[in-house]
Amino acid sequence: MHFAIEKAQALIEAHRYIRSFRDKVVVVKVGGSIQDDDERMKALLTDVSFMSAVGMRPVIVHGGGKSITRAMTDAGLQARFIQGRRYTDRETLEIAERVLVHEVNKGIVDRLNAAGSHALGLHSLGSCVLFAQRMFLNGPGGEKVDLGFVGDVTDVNTVLLEALTEDGFIPVIAPVAMASEAALSAANDGARDGAGAAWKFNVNADTAAGRVAAALKADKLVVLSDTNGIRINPDDAESYASTLTRAEIDELVRKGVIGEGMLPKVEACLLALAGGVNKAHIIDGRITHSLLLEIYTDAGVGTQITIE
């Protein structure tokens, strides 16, 4: 009886959030070790299916870096990173596109549809919603550092995404972008794909999720990580902050508390907030139903980031 009462109380608590988030867009970035764990991935996609079933409008952006690295190793290629970003030559781009589209994206779509949802894969080999220009990093002497076929998302096809979510579909976006009009007109040397028909770029999935959330003016961006939020004391494994403001984030970055692994996720959250997203969250995808717990409970299970 006690368990039944607790369950009823949880449903009542969730009901308030279900009503307030009805018809709201929530962008979910999936990455990390959860993609290599079938049971955890199944639980996560069950959460997304539930969100859609109760009237929310979830949009998934996924990564796939570990799968790409494994595929490169199988092909006899060694992954090369510059300032933490994967250098992408033509062969690497072809492998990344194949893995992201045919394996990761298709797998997520198939699982959502098998669970009774209506999911649609959006990617560079079909209907693409991401458009990018070539990315360069700054070298130690201020020179431009070439990353090959790596791009920075500049445009998002929000018309298609809004139409799909309004019709009850769950868009699943792979992080390979087509060249934007600006990139095409700039005629970046060597940026054409093997067919010579269009330009494509490998893009950072965290950044892509932030751009998508900002373009859609989503209510929330939720980034799934391998840690349960942002640790404010690097030496204390339990020192995760429930809520941080942008100013507090900036201070943690300045002090070096937020390191290289967490920084792209934090930057994606700040990018989303700057674009009009109400709140951004970083949560541990390894916790069963962490997505629902963060959105539909008062306490939450990760770190929420706000403007003020």
Q: What is the DSSP string of 101-157?
A: IIIIIHHHHHHHHHTT--EEEE-TTSS--EEEEEEEEE-TTS-EEEEEEEEEEEEE-
Q: What is the pLDDT of residues 101-153, one digit of tens each?
A: 999 999 999 999 999 999 999 999 999 999 999 988 888 877 888 889 999 99
Instruction: Output the six-digit token pair for 17.
Output: 């959030």
- Res 95: pLDDT: 95
Contacts of 57 (CB under 8 A, 6+ apart): 23, 24, 25, 26, 165, 166
Residue pair 101/124 in contact by the 8 Å Cβ criterion: yes
Q: What is the pLDDT of residues 226-246, one digit of tens each?
A: 887 898 887 777 788 899 999
User: Which residues are 243's β-sheet partners?
Assistant: 304
- Res 195: pLDDT: 37
The sign of the CA dihedral 90, 93, 97, 99 is positive
Q: Which domains does the chain have, with CATH numbers?
A: 26-306 (3.40.1160.10)
- Res 185: pLDDT: 64
For residue 135, give the nearest of 208, 27, 209 by alpha carbon: 208
- Res 198: pLDDT: 43
CB burial readout 105-136, b (16+ within 10 A) else e: bebbbebbeebebebbbbbbeeebbbbbbbbe
- Res 267: pLDDT: 92
Output phi, psi for 26, to 5 deg: -125, 120
Residue 233: strand, helix, or coil: coil
Instruction: Output the six-digit token pair for 243.
Output: 């809520």
Q: What is the mean pLDDT of each run of 10 residues along the chain (308 residues)?
A: 54 67 93 87 94 95 92 92 84 95 97 96 96 88 87 96 98 95 60 50 95 97 89 80 91 85 90 95 90 80 87
The sign of the CA dihedral 164, 166, 168, 174 is positive
Q: What is the pLDDT of residues 60-72, one digit of tens each?
A: 999 998 899 999 9
